[in-house]
Chain A
Amino acid sequence: MDMSEITDTLGTFKPELIPKETGGNLDDYEDALHVLMKFMGSMSSALEQVSGRGANAIVYQAGKRMGHESAKMMDKTEDLEKALYELSEVLGEEFYFIKWKPDAQDSYVLQKDNEVTVKLLFMDCVVRQTLRRTGLPQKGPLCYLLYGYMVGAVEEVMDLKAKVDIDHVGPNACLKTLTIKWSAK
């Protein structure tokens, strides 16, 4: 078959060859991102339709596994500040967050019994963007992917049990509370 009749981009491949070029330009990346966003959105709503609230648990487990996997190479620490730094490295720019507290509260970190909590404000989030791309509400199953991801990563780095609760969602930022239980491993 003469490929030059079909495409201008011709190349030579050997089985072991890692291509030097990814192929495509920024527009292709954008198109791919939007297709994936639509797929993810559609999968999430179908999952919810079939399994109801069980969808949250499934997506949470998937996220948690990802979190554990991604944080495996990170330094282990019991220091919350360091763990948050590691978490930001795992989550990257696409899930950019900062610590947040009301102005009247002295410290970002609150200690109660054997639990410590810190509020995290997520300014950027790919999940939020995916939901907006597909017209789905926030706090649905897809949000559980990020909860699971965070919990998995924190548990991996700190070797302690963690929990994430959603406080509030908006189109420009979401507030979450991360709880670490010191006694539970």
Chain B
Amino acid sequence: MVEIIIDEDACVGCASCVEDCPNDVYEMDEANNKTKVVNEVDCMACLSCHEICPAQAMEHRDIHVAKRLYIDRKVNYALKRII
């Protein structure tokens, strides 16, 4: 099953992920103004929340990874040599 980890130090409490997720996976924790994961089971790993989060505060584990043929293999190769 998908596991979602929120980096509470990074989260700025903007609630963008709550609004963006179509499956109500997140909810705002009003007490400490951070997002919290409440419905992990309905996460379909679309990762639109990753695109919208200004703090890159979430991590999805054990998800499928879509093919990314748009990335140039030569660029990938060069990056791998540097990193």
A interface residues, Cβ below 8 angstroms from B? 27, 30, 33-34, 37, 94, 100, 102-103, 121, 123-126, 128-130, 132-133, 167-175
Contact of A175 with B67 in the complex, beta carbons under 8 Å: no
Task: Looking at the assembled complex, report how far the CB atom of B49 sits from the nearest CB atom of chain A, in whole angstroms.
Answer: 8
Contact of B45 with A172 in the complex, beta carbons under 8 Å: yes
Task: Report how far A171 CA is from B65 CA in the complex, Å.
Answer: 10
Tell me which residues across on chain A come within 8 A of B44, comparing CB atoms: 100, 121, 173, 175
User: Which residues 21-46 of B have a CB within 8 angstroms of A?
Assistant: 22-23, 41-42, 44-46
Task: Report how far A121 CA is from B42 CA in the complex, Å.
Answer: 12
With contacts A123-B64, A168-B22 taken as known, whether A103 is within 8 angstroms of B45 at the C-beta atoms is: no
Contact of A133 with B65 in the complex, beta carbons under 8 Å: no
With A173-B44, A173-B45 already in contact, 18 other A-B pairs whose C-beta atoms are closer than 8 Å: A30-B72, A33-B69, A100-B44, A102-B42, A123-B66, A132-B68, A133-B70, A167-B22, A168-B48, A170-B49, A170-B50, A171-B46, A171-B48, A171-B50, A171-B66, A172-B46, A173-B64, A173-B66
With contacts A170-B48, A171-B48 taken as known, whether A34 is within 8 angstroms of B66 at the C-beta atoms is: no
Tell me which residues across on chain A come within 8 A of B45, comparing CB atoms: 172-173
Task: Looking at the assembled complex, report how far the CB atom of A58 sits from the nearest CB atom of chain B, in whole angstroms.
Answer: 24
Task: Report how far A164 CA is from B20 CA in the complex, Å.
Answer: 21
Contact of A129 with B67 in the complex, beta carbons under 8 Å: yes
Q: What's the A-B contact tally at a CB cutoff of 8 Å? A: 65
Q: Any chain A CB within 8 A of the CB of B55? A: no
Secondary structure of the B contact surface, majority rule:
loop
Tell me which residues across on chain B come within 8 A of A27, comparing CB atoms: 73
With contacts A103-B42, A167-B22, A168-B22 taken as known, whether A128 is within 8 angstroms of B48 at the C-beta atoms is: no
Contact of B46 with A168 in the complex, beta carbons under 8 Å: yes
Partner of B46, one of A102, A124, A175: A175
Instruction: Encode B54-81 as 1/0 by CB contact (under 8 A) with A.
Output: 0000000001111111101100000000
